[in-house]
Structures are given as structure tokens and as C-alpha cells.
Amino acid sequence: MDRATRTELEAAAFRRLLTHLQQRTDVQNVDLMGWGGFCRNCLSEWLAEEAEARGLALDKHQAREWVYGMPYEEFKARHQQPATQEQLDRMNASLEVNKRVRGQS
């Protein structure tokens, strides 16, 4: 597979992931972090960082609106539930795993 085709496929899969996360507002970021080690905020930060690396203007708020499909504050008000201690503990453990796998221990 050539590089351009691979990039197209990856971009299409990413767009589908964003649509999926926008539709599954019942899935809390704290759960995504706890089980997968990333969340919607991570995706938006990665987008903003990649834009900056390419000299493009995309700030954190714009990137979050792209990922959430609405302003972040609106998403939080509509869909975010208070995190339980269990969720927070799982998320913190997952963050430690992220550090280890990234060599940041």
C-alpha cells in the first residue's frame, strides 16, 4: 500500500472515530482514560500539537470543538457526569501506565 492511500485510510478511520465519540456521549472521558489511556481531550490536544508542528493555527478550544462536535463547555454541561472514586482511581492507574509505556517513569 502506498503512503498516500495509507494516509487516506487513516484519516477516514479517524473521522469515523470522531463521529463515534460524538454519538456516544454516554461514554465519559474518565472511562475512556481509565480503560484506554486516552480521551476526547487527548485527541484534541494531539490535533492541536500536530497543527502547530506544521505551522497551522489550531488552538486548544478549536481542536476540542472539532473533536466534540460542539463547544467543550456545552458538551460538559450536556453530557459530563461527576466521576466516581473508582473511575478516578482507574484513570490515575492508566495515566501511570501511559508514563511507563512512553518511557516517562
For residue 104, name the pLDDT band (cuts at 50, 70, 90): confident
The percentage of the chain sitting over the pLDDT mark of 90, rounded to a whole number, equals: 97
What does the pLDDT look like over 21-54, one tens digit per residue? Answer: 999 999 999 999 999 999 999 999 999 999 999 9
With vertex at residue 89, the alpha carbon angle to CA 62 and CA 93, rounded to the nearest 5 degrees, is: 80
Give the ranges where 24-71 is alpha helix by DSSP (H).
Answer: 29-36, 40-53, 60-68
What does the pLDDT look like over 7-25, one tens digit per residue? Answer: 999 999 999 999 999 999 9
Is residue 76 pLDDT above 90, yes or no?
yes
**Cα separation, 28 vs 26, whole angstroms:** 6
One-letter amino acid identity for 104? Q
Closest listed residue to residue 22, CA positions, set 86, 68, 62, 56: 68
Q: 10 Å Cβ neighbour count for 7?
A: 10
Global pTM value: 0.89
**Cα separation, 100 vs 105, whole angstroms:** 5
Q: If you average pLDDT over residues 61-71, what whole number do you get? A: 97
What does the pLDDT look like over 77-86, one tens digit per residue? Answer: 999 999 999 9
